């Protein structure tokens, strides 16, 4: 039944988007067509679920399991494929395969996949999005089916809705300031610790070919993740954009761009793009996360770089990131859970975390990571100041409002005050403040 509910909700979501783009007559036609599609999808789901339910009742894990993920980093993809190959070779009952879906399309493909009855069996998704899809009924209830008693509370909470567990934390991460030591030394600058120091240092390091600073500023969750530490550093929350702190954060980004210290091209850069610009010597400083460290060490072994806390306004702040596993309700649930048990075992988990630069969400495993590595130890320390986005079923809409606000400010399409007011109107309409 969960997957049937998700079918209707996803179709309603698609129908709403269509009504915003076409005429009333076209909307009516689309609604009638969607209704017919919903009935057909429901009939197909009923037969499929009956067969799957019969298999699940037996408690046997067998068959094919498809995983969707959005990691663009080659090292991440290789690590996932490696453990999949190991798992497939270790037994003969379950065969797992993975499919890459770009981050920008991931949520859309997941929603469309519901209505088209073309969902995978397991997804690895950004933790702030988890609650939204759990609320739609897409994810299987894993309460009592998977042990997360040794996991950190924050990551587990991102998988939890109404007291039920709808996923398993994959791994956690946070953000720090990466800086090119040679460039800062050449400019006669110390590592910046405050906003004013960051602005001055970034300007001093900016030349004809080098931008002093950047972070991913895409108009999506990736961009929101990198922007929100400015808001949190003022003492404001994610839901207080039209506040003194929120406007101050937007104004600071505007100052960075207007001064030339931060390239406006960052509105087109993923976090991976930003890293590659830093490796290529086109950036003196950037904000990025733990997961980039393995790639940077492998691809740029001679680059002289280090990390530090993100420059602060009123208080130190970072963003809590990471992914979760979620089993699709009505799919091959038992097969997916069997793979999860393998993927989260200590040896396999440590391999994945170390290969990808993540911090294990399992506290017992995390304690064994990173001893004697000052870069990673700095990230572990920063976890004390890392703020979560959500968890809230409506978080994706709030994130969209925030990312639109800082994009408008960076491109000069809006003032910080007007962009903050527009974002706040959307946020208030969602959270009811």
**CATH number of the domain within which 231 lies:** 3.40.190.10
Using CA atoms, how far apart are residues 137 and 166, in angstroms rounded to an integer? 10
Please check whether residues 148 and 114 belong to one and the same domain.
yes
Judged against a pLDDT cut of 50, whether residue 218 lies above it is answered with: yes
Please check whether residues 297 and 427 belong to one and the same domain.
yes
Whether residue 58 lies inside any domain: the answer is no
CB 313 within 8 A of CB 195: yes
Q: What angle do CA 321, 158, 375 make, to 5 degrees?
A: 25
Alpha-carbon distance values, 392 to 9, 13, 159, 396, 397 (Å): 17, 18, 11, 9, 10
Please check whether residues 234 and 364 belong to one and the same domain.
no
The helix (run of H) or strand (run of E) holding residue 222 is helix 221-233
Please check whether residues 195 and 308 belong to one and the same domain.
yes
Sequential DSSP letters for 294-358: HHHHHH-TT--EEEEPPPBSSS--EE-EEEEEEEBTTSSHHHHHHHHHHHTSHHHHHHHHHHHTP
Q: How many domains does the chain have?
A: 3
- In tens, the pLDDT along 89-103 reads 999 999 999 999 998
Whether residue 273 lies inside any domain: the answer is yes
Per-residue pLDDT band at 27 (split at 50, 70, 90): very low
Please check whether residues 110 and 227 belong to one and the same domain.
no
pLDDT of residue 36: 41
Whether residue 240 lies inside any domain: the answer is yes
Task: Show Cβ contacts of residue 109 under 8 Å, excluding neighbours closer than 6 positions.
Answer: 68, 101
According to DSSP, the β-strands at 321-327 and 211-214 are: unpaired
Tokens matching residue 93: 């009952």
Please check whether residues 192 and 338 belong to one and the same domain.
no
Please check whether residues 70 and 105 belong to one and the same domain.
yes
The whole model's pTM is what?
0.74
Sequential DSSP letters for 25-56: HHHHHHHHHHHHHHHHHHHHHHHHHHHHHHHH
Q: Which domain does 102 fall in, by range? A: 63-172+322-387
Please check whether residues 189 and 139 belong to one and the same domain.
no
- In tens, the pLDDT along 333-386 reads 999 999 999 999 999 999 999 898 899 999 889 888 888 899 999 998 888 898
**Terminus-to-terminus CA distance in the chain, angstroms?**
33
């Amino acid at each position: 039944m969960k997957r049937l509910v998700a079918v209707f909700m996803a179709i309603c979501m698609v129908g709403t988007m269509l009504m915003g783009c076409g005429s009333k007559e076209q909307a009516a036609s689309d609604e009638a067509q969607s209704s017919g599609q919903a009935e057909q999808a429901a009939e197909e789901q009923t037969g499929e679920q009956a067969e799957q339910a019969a298999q699940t009742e037996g408690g046997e894990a067998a068959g094919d399991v498809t995983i969707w993920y959005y990691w663009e980093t080659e090292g991440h993809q290789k690590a996932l494929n490696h453990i999949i190959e190991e798992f497939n070779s270790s037994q003969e009952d379950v065969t797992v395969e993975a499919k890459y879906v770009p981050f920008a399309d991931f949520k859309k493909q997941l929603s469309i996949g519901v209505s088209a009855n073309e969902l995978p069996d397991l997804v690895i998704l950004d933790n702030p999005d988890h609650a939204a899809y759990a609320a739609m009924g897409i994810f299987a209830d894993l309460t009592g089916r998977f042990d997360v008693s040794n996991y950190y509370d924050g990551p587990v909470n991102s998988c939890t809705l109404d007291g039920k567990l709808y996923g398993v934390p994959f791994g956690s991460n946070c953000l720090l300031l990466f800086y090119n030591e040679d460039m800062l030394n050449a400019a006669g600058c110390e590592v910046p610790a405050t906003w004013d120091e960051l602005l001055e240092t970034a300007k001093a390091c900016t030349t004809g070919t080098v931008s002093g600073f950047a972070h991913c500023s895409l108009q999506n969750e990736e961009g929101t993740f990198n922007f929100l530490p400015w808001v949190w550093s003022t003492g404001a929350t994610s839901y207080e954009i039209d506040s003194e702190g929120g406007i101050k954060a937007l104004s600071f980004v505007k100052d960075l761009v207007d001064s030339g210290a931060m390239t406006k091209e960052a509105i087109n850069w993923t976090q991976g793009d930003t890293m590659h610009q830093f490796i290529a010597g086109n950036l003196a400083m950037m904000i990025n996360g733990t997961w980039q460290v393995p790639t940077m060490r492998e691809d740029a072994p001679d680059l002289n770089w280090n990390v530090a806390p993100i420059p602060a306004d009123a208080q130190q702040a970072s963003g809590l990131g990471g992914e979760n596993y979620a089993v699709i309700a009505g799919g091959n649930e038992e097969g997916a859970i069997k793979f999860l048990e393998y993927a989260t075992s200590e040896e396999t988990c440590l391999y994945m975390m170390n290969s990808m630069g993540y911090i294990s969400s399992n506290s017992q495993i995390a304690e064994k990571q990173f001893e004697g590595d000052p870069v990673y130890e700095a990230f572990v320390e920063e976890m004390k100041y890392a703020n979560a986005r959500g968890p809230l079923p409506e978080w994706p809409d709030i994130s969209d409002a925030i990312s639109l606000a800082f994009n408008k400010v960076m491109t000069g399409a809006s003032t910080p005050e007007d962009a903050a007011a527009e974002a706040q109107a959307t946020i208030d309409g969602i959270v009811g403040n």
